[in-house]
Chain A
Amino acid sequence: MIRALRILASNPLSLFGLLLVVLIVLVAILAPWIAPFPTHNGAVVDFAFANKAPGARNWMGTDLVGRDIFSRILYAYQISLTLGIVVLAIATPIGTVVGLIAGYSGGWLGTVLMRIVDVFLSIPPLVLAIAMMGVLEPTLTNAMLAVTVMWWPWYARLVYSVARSEREEGYVLAAEVIGANTAHITFREILPNCLPAIITKMTLDMGFVIIIASSLSFLGLGVQPPTPDLGSMVAEGARYLPDSWWLTVFPGLAILVAVFGFNLLGDGLRDVFGVDE
C-alpha cells in the first residue's frame, strides 16, 4: 500500500489526478455546507439575479431563473459520483463472475456466456443506454439501471481475458493437482490476480460513467430538472450561446475536470500495478 502510494506520488500527473479526485469527492460530500447558495439545488427562483454573468456574488454566474451555477455544480457532482459508484458496484461483480466462469471453465458454457457478452458489446455503449432510457421513465434510478446493463459486459470481457491467461499459470495447475475444487480455484486463486486490472478499470470507468450519465441527461433522458445535473445544465444553456456562455461552459468544464482527474489517477494506477492497456 505504502509502496503503491510512493510509485503513484513519483509521477506528478498521477498525484495531480489523485488530488483532483479527492477534491471533487470532498466538495461533493460537503456541498450542503460549502455551497454559497445551498438551497439552489432545487426548484428555487430568484428572478432579480437571473442570467447574471460571473461576478463577486456568483463566481460562475446564475442560470435563467437566478440559481447560482457554482452551487448547482457542487450538487451535480453528488449525483454524478453516486451514480458512478452504484453502477460500478453492481456492474463490476456481475461482469467479474461471468468473466471468471467463462474464462476458467471454458467449454460450451464459456462460449455461450461470451457470445451473450458479444451481443451487448456490439451495440455502441451510449446507444444501448439511450435505447433503454427510451423505454423507461427518465429517473435517476432508471439511468443507473440503463448504464449498469451496458456496463457489465466490459468487465466480463476484461476478466475473461485475464482469467484465460492465468489459467495456464503454474499456481493454478498446482491447486488443481492438490484437488482444490473449481470454486476455490476460481475465486481464491484466479480472482485475486485479476484484481489489479479490475481496480484500474474501475478508476478509469468512474470517469466514463460520468460521461455516459451526463450524455443521457444532456439528451433529456437522464436525471430530470430541477435536480442539478451537469449534462442537463449544458443542454439548457446551449440554446443561449454565445451570450450567456457561463450557462454551458462551467458545467462542461466541471465534467472535464472530474473525468480528467479519474483518468490521470487510473493511468497512474496502471503504472503501479503494471496493467497493460
Chain B
Amino acid sequence: MASVIGLLFRRLLISFIVLIGVSMLIFAIARVIPGDPARIALGPNAKAEQIEQLRAEMHLDESLPVQYAQFLSDLSRGDLGTSLYTNRPVTTDIVQFLPATLELVFLAGLIMVLVGLPLGILAARYQGRWPDHLVRILALLTVSAPGFVWAVILMLLFAFYLPLFPIAGRIADIHEVQRITGFLIIDTLLAGNVAAFGSAIHHIILPAVALSLSGIGQAARLTRANMVETYKKPYIEMAHAYGFFPNRIARSYAFKPSLIPSLTIIGLDFAAMLGNAFLVEAVFAWPGLSRYGVAVILRKDLNAIMGTVLIIALTFLIVNIIVDLLIAFLNPRIRYSTREAS
C-alpha cells in the first residue's frame, strides 16, 4: 500500500511538471504564432483604439516572459480570462460546458471497456478460428473511420431510417432539470425524475456509441494480442493439463495478466475520445465543451481556446493518474512491493 501512495506522489509530481510544459506549449501556440492576437480577435474592421485597449487588457505590450508569468499567475487563481465569444469568464463557460462532454466521454469509455475487452477475450479464446477473424476485421473496420463518419452512419440508420433514438440534443425539451452537477444523468436521478432520466439516457446512447466505436476496436485488438502471448506461457498449458474448461482458462488465467496493458491503452483511448468528442458533438448537436471549442476557434477567441485546451489536457492527465493507480493496485508486484524493490 505504501508503494502505491509513493507512486501516486511521483505521478502527481510528474503530471505537474508536464502540466507546466503544456501551459508553455499552449502559450506558445497562442502568442508566438505570427499575427497580433488582439487584431485577430477583433477582426479586420476594428478601430486602432479598440485594438490598443484589448492589447493592454491581454498584456500584449509586455515582453513574452512577463506575459507568460501573468498567464500563470492568473491561471493559479483559476482565472482564464474573458471569452470574446460569450463575454463571460472562460472558467464559467468551461464549468457550464465540460460536464456534458465528460458525461459523453465517460459513457463511451464504459461501453468501450464492456464491449471491447470481451470481444478481445473471445478472439483470443477462439484464436485462428472464425470468431477471431470476425473480431479482427470488425476491430480494424471501427478504427478505420473518424468519429464523425460513424456518427453520421449511426444517425442515418438508427435515428432516421429506424427512428429508435433522437437526432440531436441531450434531453427532451419538456423536462426541466435543476443543474446540480451538470451531469444530466446524475442530476435527473438526484431530482428523482425518472422520465427525465430516461430521456437523458435515450439521448446519450447514439453519440456515446459513435464515440466509443474506434476505442472498442483498439481495446479488442490489444486484449487479443496480449492474451495470445499469455496463452503461450507454460502455466496455461498446465491449466489445460489439469483439465480446466477453456472458458475458465480464458477468463481467469489468460485474461488477468493482459488486463494491465489493456488498461494503459484504455487511458490513451480516453485521450483520443476527448478529441473525437469534437466530431461527435458536432454531428449530434451535443451542447458540450467541444461545440464551445469549435465556436471559439472560428471566432479566434484566444483566451477561450487556451482555456479549453488546458482543461482537456488536465482532464487527460487526471484520468492517466487514475489509470496508473488502478494498474498499481491490480498488479501484485507493485501492490506488495517493498520500498527496496521499487
Contact = CB atoms under 8 A, between A and B. Distances in A.
Nearest to A131: B309
Given A215-B147, A252-B145, 11 more contacts: A115-B17, A118-B18, A119-B24, A122-B22, A122-B313, A136-B33, A218-B279, A220-B298, A235-B148, A235-B282, A238-B152
Interface string A126-159: 1110111111100000000000000000000000
B317 A122 contact: yes
Chain B residues touching A, majority SS = helix
Contacts of A212: 146
A207 B140 CA distance: 11
Contacts of B165: none
Interface residues of A, number: 48
B18 A131 contact: no
A134 B305 contact: yes
A219 B147 CA distance: 12
B300 interface: yes
Contacts of B1: none
B298 A124 contact: no
Interface of B: 14, 17-19, 21-22, 24-26, 29-30, 33, 35, 40, 136-137, 140-141, 143-149, 152-153, 155-156, 160-161, 221-222, 225, 271-276, 278-279, 282-283, 293-294, 296-298, 300, 302, 305, 308-309, 312-313, 316-317, 320
A148 to B, nearest CB: 14
A123 interface: yes
Dominant secondary structure of chain A at its interface with chain B: helix
Interface string A102-128: 000000000000011011101111111
Given A124-B275, A238-B152, A242-B160, A119 B282 contact: no
Nearest to A146: B29
Question: What are the 10 closest A-B residue pairs judged by CB atoms, nearest first?
Answer: A126-B275, A119-B21, A134-B297, A124-B275, A242-B160, A260-B144, A252-B149, A259-B144, A124-B271, A256-B145
A71 to B, nearest CB: 20
A114 B21 CA distance: 12
